[in-house]
């Protein structure tokens, strides 16, 4: 700073010298002028360097206690575009809220897990081809970005099993982001969302499960629905079902137009046993299904890829 001030003063004095040019004899004026110009160029160059050094030095240390009046000092242009919540997150909140109103607890899933939680704890036999059906990604260390929210079942059962001892039921939903090594197209994404449900009590039945699921879908689509099930296969449930709803007329469906919405079933005794719950004494059911598809039906979207596209025109419609 001081250096720059000194140079400015030098420059001022030098500029004053130019006035003397008139007094210099004509034959010496050229040389006199050239000398002044050279001196001036030198001062200007030193000023530039001093300014540069000052800019480098003037990066203020971070002080998070510094006073700040955000709304007064932020230029207008910075506050014009207020983002909005991603439609999938808005809908995921609605989904979770419906289950909460039915009395379910909510546990968030995770974005990196291991072979044990993703497969072993869910009764997938070692080397069983069903493991391949999940098209899992793996990190170099062998960890798995989970391909389904069922990866949380074992933790939920273990964490909540003391409720059973107190005579209460386990009722938990687990929303989460999941990943699969899929060929991406209008109905398949490598990254999508699921919501899992887990219920355990002394005397629950498949009928209770179907009642809960019907209630959920009717609340979500805000109308009465026809439902249907068909046999499915999951190593962690026995029996296993695929749960379908008839596509409502109001959403462009025709009679008999059934859509598969999720997988479900009675929790396999081995899964309960591995989590320290006695399958002779307790029974449970579980389900898991995609959020993206649920939302696509609600809004009449025909391409799942919009969700992860970051396309602002799409996002602004919500």
| Chain contacts with ligand DAH (rule: CB under 6 A) | 148, 150, 196, 234, 236-237, 263-265, 286-288
Q: Answer whether 303's CB lies under 8 Å from 186's CB.
A: yes
Residue nearer to ligand DAH on the CB measure, 150 or 201? 150
Residue nearer to ligand DAH on the CB measure, 248 or 293? 293
Query: Helix 87-101 vs helix 291-299: angle between axes, to the nearest 10 degrees?
Result: 100
Q: At closest approach, how far in Å is the CB of 255 from ligand DAH?
A: 27
Q: In terms of Cα–Cα distance, which of 136, 285, 262, 302 is closest to 207? A: 285
Q: Is 52 exposed, middle or buried (0-12, 13-18, 19+ CB in 10 A)?
A: exposed
Residue nearer to ligand DAH on the CB measure, 201 or 237? 237
Residue nearer to ligand DAH on the CB measure, 282 or 287? 287
Q: At closest approach, how far in Å is the CB of 296 from ligand DAH?
A: 17
Question: How far is residue 83's CA from residue 304's CA, in Å, rounded to a whole number?
Answer: 21
The helix/strand/coil state of 107 is coil
Question: How far is residue 317's CA from residue 301's CA, in Å, rounded to a whole number?
Answer: 12
Residue located via tokens 């996002």: 315
Pairing label, strands 105-106, 170-179: parallel
Q: 232 to each of 126, 206, 266, how far by Cα in Å?
A: 21, 14, 12
Residue nearer to ligand DAH on the CB measure, 7 or 134? 134
Q: At closest approach, how far in Å is the CB of 117 from ligand DAH?
A: 12
Residue nearer to ligand DAH on the CB measure, 262 or 297? 262
Q: At closest approach, how far in Å is the CB of 139 from ligand DAH?
A: 20
Q: At closest approach, how far in Å is the CB of 147 from ligand DAH?
A: 7
Q: At closest approach, how far in Å is the CB of 186 from ligand DAH?
A: 19
- Enter the tokens of residue 196: 């899992």
Q: What is the DSSP letter of 291?
A: H
């Amino acid at each position: 700073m001081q250096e720059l001030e000194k140079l400015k003063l030098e420059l001022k004095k030098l500029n004053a010298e130019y006035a003397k040019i008139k007094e210099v004899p004509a034959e010496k004026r050229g040389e006199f002028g050239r000398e002044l110009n050279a001196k001036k160029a030198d001062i200007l160059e030193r000023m530039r360097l001093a300014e540069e050094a000052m800019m480098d030095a003037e990066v203020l240390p971070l002080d998070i206690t510094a006073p700040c009046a955000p709304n007064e000092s932020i230029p207008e242009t910075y506050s014009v575009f207020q983002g909005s919540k991603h439609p999938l997150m808005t809908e995921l909140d609605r989904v979770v809220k419906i289950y909460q109103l039915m009395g379910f607890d909510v546990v968030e899933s995770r974005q990196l897990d291991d072979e044990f939680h993703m497969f072993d704890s869910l009764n997938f036999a070692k080397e069983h081809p069903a493991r391949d059906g999940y098209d899992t990604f793996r990190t170099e260390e062998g960890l798995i970005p989970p391909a389904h929210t069922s990866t949380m079942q074992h933790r939920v059962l273990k964490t909540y099993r003391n409720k059973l001892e107190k005579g209460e039921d386990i009722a938990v939903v687990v929303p989460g982001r999941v990943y699969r090594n899929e060929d991406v197209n209008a109905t398949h994404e490598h990254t999508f969302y699921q919501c899992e449900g887990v219920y355990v009590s002394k005397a629950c039945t498949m009928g209770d499960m179907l009642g809960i699921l019907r209630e959920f879908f009717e609340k979500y689509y805000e109308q009465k629905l026809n439902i249907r099930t068909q046999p499915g296969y999951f190593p962690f449930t026995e029996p296993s079902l695929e749960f379908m709803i008839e596509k409502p007329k109001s959403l462009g469906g025709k009679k008999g137009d059934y859509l598969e919405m999720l997988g479900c079933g009675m929790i396999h005794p081995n899964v309960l046993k591995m989590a320290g719950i006695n399958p002779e004494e307790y029974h449970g059911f579980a389900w898991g299904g995609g959020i993206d598809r649920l939302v696509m039906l609600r809004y009449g979207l025909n391409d799942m890829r919009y969700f992860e596209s970051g396309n602002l025109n799409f996002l602004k419609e919500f």
